[in-house]
Amino acid sequence: MPPQDPLPTRHPETPAGAEAAPSPRKEEPLSLPLLLEFSRTLPSAPRVYHQISRLISDPNVDLAEVTALMKLDPSLTARMIRIANSAYFGLAYRVESLEDAATQLGLREINHLLGSVVLRDAFFHRLPFYGLKADEFCSRCLTTGHANELLAQRTGADPGLAYLTGLLHSIGQLVLGLFLAKNRPELRLPVPTPVLAIDAERTHFGTDHVEIASLLLKDWKFGDDIITPVSWQHRPAEAPDHERETAALHLAIHLADAVERHLPSPDAEGGCPPDPVCCPLLGLDPADLPVLTRQVQELAQKSRRFFGLVEKSPSPGAP
């Protein structure tokens, strides 16, 4: 977990002049055990998805293993089949089983679709503190997942693991945002984008979304190859290990932020430039950032279509 002190008064990613006015007053420090207990009210879907995604990432995985694990959740199985039969995929014939869906779509597409379902179930919440509507928060998570997967493909890392890490990178913002919405609904983040939230969080609450995410992922028994990049996502140069994965996640977050804010590149005017350590560590040229941003934008458009399918396919018994 990143060290708690000291932290700079202005985050190194914050563009000069972008500091916003502080909140009306400093809040009482939030208890991490209290936040962890609060997080246990969230759906368990991310933990299930973690197990399935790990299987899918194994090049030698047996399709039967993947579908057997997914079938442990009958509601999930029914929704996946229903979505696979939608006009979007245009399959030649109607699938009647999870095995049919996985065979027709392929495990990579199943992984993307499953990620959208999990986000819809667990992450679809309005977060007033961060100024995000439910669909905006999910869009940021999905876009980061696709950006991280793209970087993994470019650098020879595990694309499935990268996608999962990107989806989960904001789990701490979800927990803190929901906690504040319930207990301090009037509070608002005093910075222009959630990417710059960490200093304001620590100043006013004594903790931040990265520390909360680290605690939660450890509680959920995730591996260090996910916990470390998430824990150091804003300070990649200080990651104790998994340096390339951490640099990739950091860059993915900034690419996704540029896409969500309709900027041509993270280092464009008004953007949040990534840590300069990232591109050399990943073997990328900083001049490629605009091209990568456009590629992520195209992937984000696809992810939004996926998410639209999921929204139209609520779980059985949902209101």
Structural domain spans, the chain: 32-42+123-311
Report the candidate in 150, 141, 203 with the shortest Cα–Cα distance to residue 14: 203
Given pLDDT bands bounded at 50, 70 and 90, which one contains residue 78? confident
Q: What is the pLDDT of residues 240-286, one digit of tens each?
A: 999 999 999 999 999 999 999 999 999 999 999 999 999 999 999 99
CA distances from 76 to 3, 5, 13, 68, 123 (A): 39, 42, 39, 12, 16
- Which of 56-65, 97-106, 137-146, 295-304 has the highest average model confidence (pLDDT)? 137-146
Task: Give residue 44's pLDDT.
Answer: 67
Cα separation of 246 and 176, whole Å? Answer: 22
Q: What is the separation of C-alpha 65 from the centre of its chain, rounded to a whole number of angstroms?
A: 25
Cα separation of 297 and 72, whole Å? Answer: 34
Average pLDDT over residues 165-194: 91
Q: Is the pLDDT of residue 317 over 50?
A: no
Exposed, middle or buried by CB within 10 Å (0-12, 13-18, 19+), for 12? exposed
Given pLDDT bands bounded at 50, 70 and 90, which one contains residue 318? very low
Q: Is the pLDDT of residue 14 over 60?
A: no
Q: Is the pLDDT of residue 234 over 50?
A: yes
Q: What is the pLDDT of residues 206-220, one digit of tens each?
A: 999 999 999 999 988
117 contacts 310 by C-beta, under 8 angstroms: yes
299 contacts 147 by C-beta, under 8 angstroms: yes
CB-based contacts of 5, cutoff 8 Å, min separation 6: none
Q: What is the DSSP letter of 127?
A: B
147 contacts 256 by C-beta, under 8 angstroms: yes
Of the CA atoms within 13 Å of residue 104, those in its CB half-sphere come to 19
Residue that is written with structure tokens 């693991």 in the block: 161
Q: Is the pLDDT of residue 9 over 90?
A: no
Q: At what angle do helices 171-183 and 209-219 cross, to 10 degrees?
A: 110
If you average pLDDT over every residue of the chain, what do you get? 85
Q: Look at 53 and 147; give whichever has higher pLDDT.
A: 147
Given pLDDT bands bounded at 50, 70 and 90, which one contains residue 20? very low
Task: Give residue 1's pLDDT.
Answer: 45
Task: Give residue 314's pLDDT.
Answer: 52
Return the sign of the alpha-carbon dihedral for residues 260, 261, 262, 268: negative
Given pLDDT bands bounded at 50, 70 and 90, which one contains residue 304? confident
Q: Is the pLDDT of residue 319 over 60?
A: no
Average pLDDT over residues 106-126: 86
- 32-42+123-311: CATH topology is Hypothetical protein af1432 (1.10.3210)
